[in-house]
Amino acid sequence: MKLSKQLPIYFVKWFSWFFTHNVLHEMRILKKIVHFYYEGFRQMTWGKSLWVIILVKLFVMFFVLKLFFFPDLLKQNFKTDKQRSEHVIENLTNIK
């Protein structure tokens, strides 16, 4: 009887200890990772220029090229959403 009454108390103590220690450990690991990347980017010299070039290229690829080379054909060829959806369904389910 004595053990069964104390079991929930021991479980609660163990669970609270386990939870707080794991969360604190994970927070320390996350803080170390953020600090690692922060210090790495802060100490970059010509790497910052390369990141700017990469971001400009991504912007050109995804926004500028889409505007000029990939027109919205569904919007141009069909007037309503119902017509667009029917066209898409026909093309997706059409077995050739």
Output the pLDDT for position 55: 93
Half-sphere exposure of 4 (CA within 13 A, CB side): 1
pLDDT tens-digit readout, 35-90: 998 888 888 888 888 989 999 999 998 888 888 887 778 888 899 999 999 988 98
Give the span between the Cα atoms of 49 and 34, in whole angstroms.
21
pLDDT tens-digit readout, 16-32: 766 666 667 777 888 89
Output the pLDDT for position 57: 94
Identify whether the C-beta of residue 91 lies closer than 8 Å to the C-beta of residue 78: no
* CB neighbourhood size of 87 (10 A): 14
Name the band, by pLDDT with cuts 50, 70 and 90, for residue 1: very low
At residue 34, does pLDDT exceed 80?
Answer: yes
Give the DSSP H/E element, type plus range, for residue 49.
helix 47-59
Residue 78's contacts (CB-CB under 8 Å, 6 or more residues apart) are 84, 87
Output the pLDDT for position 5: 56
Give the span between the Cα atoms of 31 and 35, in whole angstroms.
6
Please give the structure tokens belonging to residue 15. Answer: 């669970």
